């Protein structure tokens, strides 16, 4: 029977993982990260505690009755239903395979590791970090299409947010309406807890939502993203209510220029550390380096934060196929903050800025 393109993609990913662990002298790999299981099989069982065992002769997805029908819809691995205690069911199945060692992801819960260690007599358990994540950092055309769609919805939603943004509306009400509109426009969900930070709250890069009402002259920072078929987008825009004073304008233009310089410096082979330094050096030149305390960006895909990591200590290099954010910011306690964030893809033919919302200063 002829396989469709998605099945071929999943099989190629699985074979890549098996090849990677075999190079380390390991027979099998136990995957517990739900996003990694989705990446390798297409199966998405949120909070299902499913497990995926991969080795040369066996590819088995373990899940329970709640998800068994959904698991059987994927065609790339066998499915085994377990009953509680689930680790015992897993051990009984694995013992019959005759493995000598199994690698496991370092996100495996300690409780599960203890049960496996006690039960898998004669089978060595070896921790492994970043095996699937190493594949995930390079996006294929299918993935990029989903991320591009998610970015497009984020752009479209922003225009409707500006219509809502008026003095008197609370941060919480703004975020609630944003979440509703994100879903109405076709997204599966918000990619993370929406940030609407106004006035002095905007000096906190990941400010928690409050019932504070937006006022005239407030800085309003909005950080949000959407999910489409599991893939995320991420965007931040900052606007001013009523009137912007000279200091706000200076901060805003500094952040905007730092971001533009960074976008113009993206190329294959540049170190993530060096790209971060492009924005950081400019912000330092303008006297605000102490107010830029986070990294310039992060990878985006099935997770909102994944490789590559773009910060001053990163040892990674940019490669074609990577999708990541560029988001410098300046935050001054007791005053407020500004961040401008875009999502970009480094492709064979150059850099594509996936979020296209206007970055010129908007005063409402």
Q: Which of 23-32, 91-100, 261-270 has the lowest mean pLDDT?
A: 91-100
Is residue 280 within 8 Å of 291, Cβ to Cβ?
no
User: Residue 3: pLDDT above 60?
Assistant: no
Which residue blocks in 165-245 are alpha helix, DSSP H?
Answer: 171-184
Percent of the chain with pLDDT over 90: 91
Q: What pLDDT does 231 receive?
A: 98
Q: 96 falls in which pLDDT band (50, 70, 90)?
A: confident
Q: Which of 81-85, 179-183, 339-343 has the lowest mean pLDDT?
A: 81-85
- pLDDT tens digits, one per residue of 354-364: 999 999 999 99
Average pLDDT over residues 330-355: 97
- pLDDT tens digits, one per residue of 196-235: 999 999 999 999 999 999 999 999 999 999 999 999 999 9
Average pLDDT over residues 128-135: 95
Is residue 235 within 8 Å of 225, Cβ to Cβ?
yes
Which residue blocks in the chain are alpha helix, DSSP H?
Answer: 5-22, 34-41, 68-72, 86-95, 110-119, 131-136, 141-164, 171-184, 246-265, 272-285
Is residue 181 within 8 Å of 157, Cβ to Cβ?
yes
Q: What is the average pLDDT score of the chain? A: 95
User: Residue 133: pLDDT above 70?
Assistant: yes
Average pLDDT over residues 262-275: 98
Q: What pLDDT does 339 receive?
A: 98
Average pLDDT over residues 290-316: 98
Q: At what angle do helices 34-41 and 5-22 cross, to 10 degrees?
A: 120
Average pLDDT over residues 313-340: 98
User: Residue 192: pLDDT above 60?
Assistant: yes
Length of the chain in terms of residues written: 364
User: Residue 154: pLDDT above 90?
Assistant: yes
User: Residue 160: pLDDT above 90?
Assistant: no
Give me the domains of the chain, ranges plus CATH numbers: 5-136 (3.40.350.10), 141-353 (3.90.230.10)
Q: Is 227 helix (H, G, I), strand (E, B) or coil?
A: strand
Token pair of 113, please?
A: 């590791």
Q: What pLDDT does 1 receive?
A: 46
Average pLDDT over residues 104-123: 92
The CA-based angle 7-9-12, given to 5 degrees, is 110
What is d(CA 91, CA 96) in angstroms, rounded to the nearest whole number?
9
User: Residue 2: pLDDT above 60?
Assistant: no
Q: What pLDDT does 171 receive?
A: 97
292-313 b/e with 16+ CB inside 10 Å = b?
Answer: beebbbbbbbbbbebbbbbbee
């Amino acid at each position: 029977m002829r396989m469709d393109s998605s099945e071929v993609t999943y099989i190629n990913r699985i074979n890549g993982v098996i090849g990677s662990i075999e190079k380390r002298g390991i027979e099998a790999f136990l995957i517990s990260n739900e996003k990694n299981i989705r990446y390798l099989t297409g199966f998405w069982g949120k909070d299902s505690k499913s497990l995926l065992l991969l080795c040369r002769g066996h590819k088995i997805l373990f899940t329970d009755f709640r998800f068994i029908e959904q698991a059987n819809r994927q065609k790339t691995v066998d499915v085994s239903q377990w009953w509680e205690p689930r680790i015992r069911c897993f051990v009984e199945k694995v013992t019959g395979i005759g493995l000598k060692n199994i690698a496991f992801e370092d996100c495996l819960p300690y409780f599960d590791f203890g049960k496996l260690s006690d039960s898998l007599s004669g089978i060595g358990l070896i921790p492994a970090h970043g095996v699937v994540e190493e594949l995930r950092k390079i996006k294929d055309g299918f993935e990029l299409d989903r991320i591009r769609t998610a970015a497009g919805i984020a752009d479209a939603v922003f225009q409707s947010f500006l219509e809502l943004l008026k003095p008197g509306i609370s941060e919480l009400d703004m975020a609630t309406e944003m979440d509703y509109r994100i879903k109405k426009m076709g997204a599966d969900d918000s990619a993370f807890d929406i940030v609407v930070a106004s006035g002095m709250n905007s000096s906190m890069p990941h400010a928690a939502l409050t019932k504070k009402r937006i006022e005239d002259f407030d800085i309003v920072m909005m950080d949000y993203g959407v999910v489409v078929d599991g893939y995320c987008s991420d965007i931040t825009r900052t606007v001013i209510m009523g009137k912007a004073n000279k200091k706000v304008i200076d901060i805003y233009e500094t952040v905007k220029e730092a971001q533009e310089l960074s976008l113009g410096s993206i190329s294959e082979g540049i170190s993530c550390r060096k790209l971060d330094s492009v924005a950081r050096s400019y912000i330092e030149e303008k006297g605000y380096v102490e107010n830029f305390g986070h990294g310039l960006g992060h990878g985006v895909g099935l997770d909102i934060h994944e490789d590559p990591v773009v910060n001053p200590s990163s040892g990674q290099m940019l490669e074609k196929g990577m999708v990541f954010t560029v988001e410098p910011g300046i935050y001054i306690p007791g005053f407020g903050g500004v961040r401008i964030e875009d999502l970009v893809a480094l492709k064979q033919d150059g850099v594509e800025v996936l979020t296209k919302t206007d970055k010129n200063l908007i005063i409402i």
